[in-house]
Amino acid sequence: MEKNIGEILITREEIAAKVAELARLLDEEYAGKNPLMICVLKGALMFMADLTRAMKIPLELDFMAVSSYGVSTRSSGVVRILKDLETGIEGRHVVIVEDIIDTGLTLKYLVQNLQSRRPASLKICTLLDKPSRRQADLQPDYCCFEIPDKFVVGYGLDYAEEYRNLPFIGVLKPEAYQ
């Protein structure tokens, strides 16, 4: 699996340090608010697990699965909710935990969908941001790393359901997906 990685963009240690820093920031911002952390499956699972384990305040977890990629490296632009929340969010402080913001089209749809449910607040927390590809007008409230326009895998991010279990963020060699 690692033979298909062209370069390690972000190491395991760099991820751990940023996640710990973000957890402290969220602890301060959401003290006394019992936030609902929404993991966008499957990609954000590793990030969400590490982030919420590092947080010290009371919080709740829920999960959504949305799809716009299939087995492609580019978003189709058509968003489907594959798994919806089990928790009502009206009046709640909600944090969407995302693995990567690329075009932003999927996330924009998700934000609009969740805002229609009238949360007290709704913020976006992402592990990776790729602003050079943005097509939707949105910015994350919290971001660990801004990255260049490269196809990355690892730490939850996949290509055709592979590479999620790599402990780092790596750039996938083009020959692995072309």
Q: Domain map of the chain by residue range?
A: 13-147
pLDDT at residue 98, rounded to an integer? 97
Tokens representing residue 117 in the block: 């449910």
Q: Domain 13-147, what fold?
A: Rossmann fold (3.40.50)
- Write the DSSP string, 50-102: HHHHH--S--EEEEEEEES-TTSSS--S--EEEE--SS--TT-EEEEEEEEES
Sign of the C-alpha dihedral computed for residues 70, 123, 121 and 25 taken in this order: positive
Strands lying side by side in the sheet with 5-10: 5-10, 169-172, 152-153
Tokens representing residue 32 in the block: 């006394």
d(CA 162, CA 152): 12
d(CA 122, CA 95): 6
Which phi and psi angles does 137 have, rounded to 5°? Answer: -85, 85
Q: Is 27 a catalytic residue?
A: no
pLDDT at residue 31, rounded to an integer? 98
- Catalytic residue, chosen from 102, 129, 137, 141, is 102
* Averaged pLDDT in 10-residue chunks for the chain of 178 residues: 93 98 98 98 97 98 84 63 96 98 92 97 98 94 97 96 97 90
